Amino acid sequence: MLLDLGNPLFWLSAFIAITLTGISKSGFAAGGGALAVPLLALWMPVSQSVFLMLPIFLIMDVKTIQYYRRHANWAILKGLLPAAMVGIVIGGLLLNKLDDQVLRLFLGTLCITFALWQQLAPVLGSIPGGSYLWGSLAGFTSTVIHAGGPPLNMYMIAINLPKLVWLATSGIFFGVINMTKLIPYLSSGQWQLTTFYYSLMLFPIAWFGTWVGKQIQGHISQSQFLTYCRYLLFLSGSLLIYNAF
């Protein structure tokens, strides 16, 4: 047994973590794994919190795609997805073998630097093959610590997509890579049946979070959307660094 289901602190942490993740996914295309995994890891092993969140992410992806699919930019996805597959393969081979502390520290520092230094956006947007760089990094970090949102958002901010196009494209991107991640996760032999039961029990919170995100998105402008994405990038980076220590 990973934890005591009667522990109210676990359920409170799960409600906060999953609701914020759902809001970030359908409202700000921010992924959210960097928010959820550290909170859940207070009550269960980090490796199992990563496995617990995958089915929840898949449910959130389905809802997000339902909301925004008509606005997807398939040309951008054609550049991002093949690179993400490479990142997933590398991440799958190294799953639970890397030093999570170093990985979180590196990604967290990158997130905060980008969130605070706005001049980086046009520079990154002009990098040849930028979609391959950030797509592969998103696939890799999504596989090992569910933190694919920050690298993808760095690229999305750089190319300055309209809000609905960003949400739709990001939703499909994460839907595909989270489905693909099932292969290395199942192959690892470390996904416990009890963890999957917890995931099923938390599905209603996932639906609630994505619904709230959709409502919030409809009341913010493009400039506010970009500002909030930077805030979430900063928050994700801070949580990653905090969790690293």
Residue 132 has pLDDT above 80, yes or no: yes
CA dist list (Å): 224 to 10, 72, 163, 166: 33, 20, 10, 14
Q: Tell me, rounded to whole angstroms, the distance of Cα 135 from its chain centroid.
A: 13
With beta carbons less than 8 A apart as the criterion, state whether 42 and 26 touch. Answer: no
Could you tell me if residue 1 is inside a domain? no
Q: What is the number of domains present in the chain?
A: 1
Q: Tell me, rounded to whole angstroms, the distance of Cα 152 from its chain centroid.
A: 9
With beta carbons less than 8 A apart as the criterion, state whether 31 and 149 touch. Answer: yes
With beta carbons less than 8 A apart as the criterion, state whether 43 and 3 touch. Answer: yes
pLDDT number for residue 1: 44
Residue 44's φ and ψ, nearest 5 degrees, are -155, 160
Whole-number average pLDDT of the chain: 81
pLDDT number for residue 70: 92
What residues make up the domain containing 95?
8-244
Could you tell me if residue 3 is inside a domain? no
* pLDDT single digits (tens) 31-70: 666 667 767 777 777 667 778 888 999 999 999 999 998 9
Could you tell me if residue 2 is inside a domain? no
Could you tell me if residue 38 is inside a domain? yes
With beta carbons less than 8 A apart as the criterion, state whether 205 and 18 touch. Answer: yes
* pLDDT single digits (tens) 136-189: 988 988 888 777 877 888 788 878 888 899 899 999 999 999 999 888 888 877
